Structure 1
Amino acid sequence: MVKYAGGALIPTIELDRRSPGSLSTQLVGGLRRLILSGHLAAGQRLPSSRTLAQDQGVSRMTVVTAYEQLTSEGLIASRVGAGAYVSAALDIDRPLPAPRTLGGLSGSAAPRLARLSVDASEQYFPRLSHPEAPCAFVTGTPANDQFPMALWARLSAQYWRQPRNLVLGYPDAEGLYSLRRAITMHLQANRGITCSPEDVFIFNGAQDAFNRIGQTLLNPGDKVWIENPGAIGARNSLISSGADLVPVPVDNEGIDVAEGLRLCPDFRLAFVTPARQHPLGVTMSPGRRFELLGAAERCGAWVIEDDYDGEFHYSGHPAATLKSVDTSGRVIYVGTFSKVMFAALRLGYVVAPPALATVFRRVAGATMQGAPASLQAIMASFIEQGHFTTHIRRMRRVYGDRQKALQDAAGRHLRGLLEVEPTSTGFQTVGRLAPDFDDLEVIARAAERGIVLSSLSRFAITPVAPGLILGFSAVPPAAIEAAVEELGRLLRGMRAGAAKAPG
């Protein structure tokens, strides 16, 4: 709709009165777009503030404020006794907005990207999306219903009551020393890793750590062993660094080192999840660990150990870390608080081997902004005051109960339909469908009923045996029981429907 007002013809500008942005700010944005796009030509007279206010249904002061802002930007000019005009300085050839396609910008307006970005974007694997509210059987999500919110709030309040200069300044690029010291003490006591605070570097989550490691150690085209199937986020980070990924199969002892050497004997880096392979859940055997370390030492390669949920085991003792048995300094250990605490925390850390610590420190000082000091300080207090250890012990019981609930319910409702593999660690397990089911069809049909399942194939670069990933950490046992029962009804219905189908 076009308004015929005194001055230029001004299209009605949509103003959202529910928006947090003021009406004058929205009006400025609308007029700015009209001017810069050429719809309002240089020298054109604008409506008076009173006329535009009436046309747009706003107060005159809102228009006056908008005109003053555009005048300060040099987009309009006022003439005494004659009103406001589009600035004559804009009487130049201005490109009109490029036509848009469904995919975004048109080909002629597509941005020129770095070659590495173009190559990487064509190889990325889509990451799993997470629902707003936890549900069965979403993966990688801690039990938000069990997190000690009141305790975290109290520690947060204590932090913000400190002197301003202590809490408002720039954090150390390597990470807050108190948190690095707390991590060192925890790893020594619970994960068998001997290190010092100077070896620890704080990142904005494990994903950020993988990005930095790749940027520091890899040249485009360097060969990187990656578990197949394996972690999608780490894989995409290494692709961003220009890595040439070599998918190495996983068996019941972990990554197949002999096959990796056959496929690519000159690897530069290997990415592994030894404590609990993601997503299959197997623990790397001692023999396979020493085999991997020996191969890395002979090739001069590095090994990234992602210990994403190694804290959680429900029987016996936790598996040792690869870092704890590394005598040649080849292992870069990556840990995260996002799985142990809550996903939004976005705090991860790296324990660098001695040969890389100096390099990481120099890179951090030159390029890293550091994770928020407030989160680091609160997390440090959480560990130092003993709450972290208490939380881990409690969550082991919670996740153990939820894992048992899944296993028991599967035995009652999924027999002959889906074999859910038992696990004594982690947040999730693998389910093997009976041969007469298509995993992707099951996933789609389950989603219609509010059940989230993931296909094992989406974690793989080269084909693997079909299967489903079922997370059990996010919801309580009653919700797990109900979802398993509903999944059983779905699978029995699909089987009955297939039996009735002609041919």
Structure 2
Amino acid sequence: MMKRPFPTGMLELDRTRQAPLYRQIYERFRAAIEQGMLRPGDRLASARSLAGELGVARATVEAAYGQLAGEGYFVARGQAGTVVSPHLAQRRPVRAGRVSAKAPAGAPPGAAEVPLPFQLGIPALDAFPRKLWSRLAARRMRSMSAADMFYGDPSGYGPLREAIAAYLLVSRGVACRPAQVFVTAGYRASLALVSHALLQRGDTVWIEDPGFPPTREVLRSAGHRSVPVPVDEEGIVVAQGTRRAAKARMAIVTPSHQAPLGFSMSMARRLQLLDWASKAKAWIVEDDYDGEYRYAGHPLPALKSLDTHERVLYAGSFSKVLYPGLALGYVVVPEPLVERCAETARIGSNGCPQLMQAIVSDFLKEGHFSRHIKKMRLLYARRRATLAAELLRVFGEHVRIDLRRGGMHLIARLDGLGNDDMLAGRAQQAGLNCQALSLRSIGAGGAQGLLMGFTNIASAAEARRLVARLRAALG
């Protein structure tokens, strides 16, 4: 049961109004419940405490509580206090406007407590091993010492860095020492770390077009110049990059599963990119955001595994494979950059919460992580096939579906129904968080399509219900 902070607006009563003070208190509590600021089961301040905050008699607050209880809004539980009735229908907080079609992938809209249908970049929350995770967390809490309560290493918790290095060697072909692994608060933090360590203000960076919007946002905030480079079925077009900015200091790519088109970078293109970086003395950031999820054949080796000239920095995230609330990621840097990145991490951060890092470390070292990935790979393949089949059944000849070999979303190309930005807006008004593919392109005229996450569609029945809702929204 949760006790929420008292709404600030409740602390100001209008004593010039004719309405009695108890009535004002009653009205504001009822409004807070109806607007979702207070929710079923929330525990409330005691009458004595609230009367002191408001500067009114205790009997005034008790009169308001009594009326709210009489109408079914509140339930008195003796020494446990007063709570908002658990039997009230759950109400969402009011949010103005539709979900922005330009919202970054993986960023939940507004303050939603659960992902909206078709949300991108969110793993299957219903399939997360909560009981196992709770046991690992409880074990860590019981053994917590005074040292565990102090600041940890800004570069990351030692055992977790060891576990990540061991996992990457086996699963992604990335050979590195634990000292090369830096634990961060996620992809944005990883990119901020390496850009501060390696770039100077005004430096030029290649980014994929279409691409992942937060990449450009992080670079812009750090004062760097992004140069969009087209992507084709083999990945980033290196020849175009060299024509547009041959002396760029960095390239940021998603070679395993291009975001958002889903293509895997060919071996020829990988070698071409590595050759450019070596000759230009530039850096490559490999964003391997969902490389574990491949549904045909084995996961591709990382670009980093081909790096013989120490030019590639490999960025991974636990948000896509465990749950986003962890806010944990990591970046593997070349050996010559370890000291420079460690100093940047020390200056810029106190590090991530050590307790959470320890739990993730246990999850990896005890083999739970690898088993979880294997389970999710099979589950996502089924959920993707289910959604694709339902889209084809409902939209028929009006839809073409891009199913690549991996990833956590599909692209539905809808013909004859309007441009994708308009369709995404209609879907979002209906509470379906489809995203417009065209808005991932830097310039105008980007490819059309709806980006749709499938990982949290738990059943065929749910897929039918959601696609029917989408069909109704699109008209």
Query: Would the aligned equivalents of 2:430 and 2:473 in 1 still touch at CA under 8 Å?
Result: no
Aligned partner of 1:349 in structure 2 is 330
Residue type at the aligned position of 1:421: D
Structure 1 Cα separation of the partners of residues 133 and 172 of structure 2: 24
Q: C-alpha distance in 2, partners of 1:315/1:272? A: 22
Distance 1:28 1:219 in 2: 55
State whether residues 174 and 361 of structure 1, in contact with CA within 8 Å, keep that contact through their aligned partners in structure 2.
Answer: yes
CA–CA separation in structure 2 for the residues paired with 1:261 and 1:177 = 39
**Where do residues 162-181 of structure 1 align in structure 2 (5 Å cutoff)?**
162-181=143-162
Question: Residue in 2 aligned with 1:455?
Answer: 436
Root-mean-square deviation (CA, aligned residues, Å) is: 2.7
**Alignment partner, residue 296 of structure 1:** 277
| Cα separation, partners in 2 of 1:296 and 1:156, compared to 1, 3 Å | same
Structure 1 distance, partners of 2:326, 2:372, is: 15
CA distance in 1, matches of 2:452, 2:161: 34
Tell me what 1:239 maps to. 220
| Equivalent-residue separation in structure 1 for 2:410 and 2:61 (angstroms) | 58
The partner residue of 1:311 within 280, 285, 292 is 292
**2:99 corresponding residue in structure 1:** none
- Matching residue of 2:340: 359
* SS of the residue 1:335 aligns to: strand
TM-score, length of structure 1 as denominator length = 0.74
**Which residue, out of 403, 415, 433, partners 1:422?**
403
Aligned partners of 1:56, 1:255: CA distance in 2, in Å? 70
CA distance, structure 2, for counterparts of residue 135 and residue 431 of structure 1: 18
**Identity score, percent:** 37
For 2:458, give the aligned amino acid. Answer: P
Residue number among 461, 466, 469 corresponding to 1:483 in the alignment = 466
Residue 415 (structure 1) shift: 2.2
1:392 paired residue among 373, 391, 397: 373
Structure 1 equivalent of residue 114 of structure 2: 133
Report what 1:474 is aligned to. 456
Per-residue deviation, residues 254-312 of structure 1 (Å, max 9, x unmatched)? 11110111111110111100000001100000011111111111111111100000011
Q: 1:29 to 1:397 in 2, by over 3 A?
A: same
Measure the CA separation in 2 of the matches of 1:416 and 1:296: 44
Moved more, 218-227 or 389-398: 218-227
Aligned pair partner of 1:368 in 349, 362, 365: 349
The alpha-carbon distance between structure 1 residues 302 and 24, as it changes in their structure 2 partners (threshold 3 A), is farther
Quote how far apart the aligned CAs of 1:174 are.
Answer: 1.1
Measured after TM superposition, the shift of residue 466 of structure 1 is 1.5
Aligned-partner Cα distance in 2 for 1:450–1:367: 38
2:439 is paired with a residue of what secondary structure?
Answer: helix
Match 1:149 to one of 126, 130, 144: 130
How far apart are the structure 1 equivalents of 2:417 and 2:181? Answer: 50
2: distance between equivalents of 1:263 and 1:29? Answer: 63
1:36 maps to none
Cα distance in 2, alignment partners of residues 486 and 367 from structure 1: 46
Q: Which amino acid aligns with 2:104?
A: R
Deviation string 1:357-388 (CA, Å, 9 cap, x unpaired) is 11011222333211111110000000111100
Q: CA–CA distance in 1 between the matches of 2:223 and 2:49?
A: 43
Distance 1:55 1:274, change over 3 A: same
Match of 2:447 among 459, 465, 469: 465
1:313-328 superposed matches below 5 A: 313-328=294-309
3-state secondary structure, aligned to 1:175:
coil
Secondary structure of the corresponding residue to residue 285 of structure 2: strand
| Counterpart-to-counterpart distance in 1, 2:210 and 2:52 | 52
Given that 1:428 and 1:472 are in contact with CA atoms closer than 8 Å, whether structure 2 keeps it comes out as yes
In 2: Cα distance, 1:294 partner to 1:159 partner? 46
User: Which region of structure 1 is more displaced relative to structure 2, 439-448 or 450-459?
Assistant: 439-448
Question: Contact 1:276/1:282 (CA < 8 Å) preserved in 2?
Answer: yes
Rounded to whole Å, the distance in 1 between the matches of 2:123 and 2:309 is: 35
Q: Classify the secondary structure of the residue corresponding to 1:136.
A: coil
Q: Which amino acid aligns with 1:475?
A: I
TM-score (norm 2): 0.78
Give the secondary structure class of the aligned counterpart of 2:194.
Answer: helix
Whether the aligned pair in 2 keeps the contact of 1:211 and 1:240 (CA below 8 Å) is no
Match of 2:73 in 1: none
Matches within 5 A, 1:36-435: 53=56, 126-128=103-105, 129-130=108-109, 131-435=112-416
CA distance in 2, matches of 1:248, 1:238: 15
Contact 1:247 1:461 in 2 (8 A): yes
TM-superposed CA distance for 1:452, in Å, is 2.1
Larger radius of gyration: 1
* Distance change >3 Å, CA 262–CA 29, structure 1 → 2: farther
The one-letter code matched in structure 2 to 1:284 is M
| 1:243 CA displacement | 1.1
Gaps of 5+ in 2: 1-13, 18-23, 30-37, 63-101
* Mapped contact 1:218–1:242 kept (Cα < 8 A): no
Q: What residue identity is the alignment partner of 2:470?
A: L
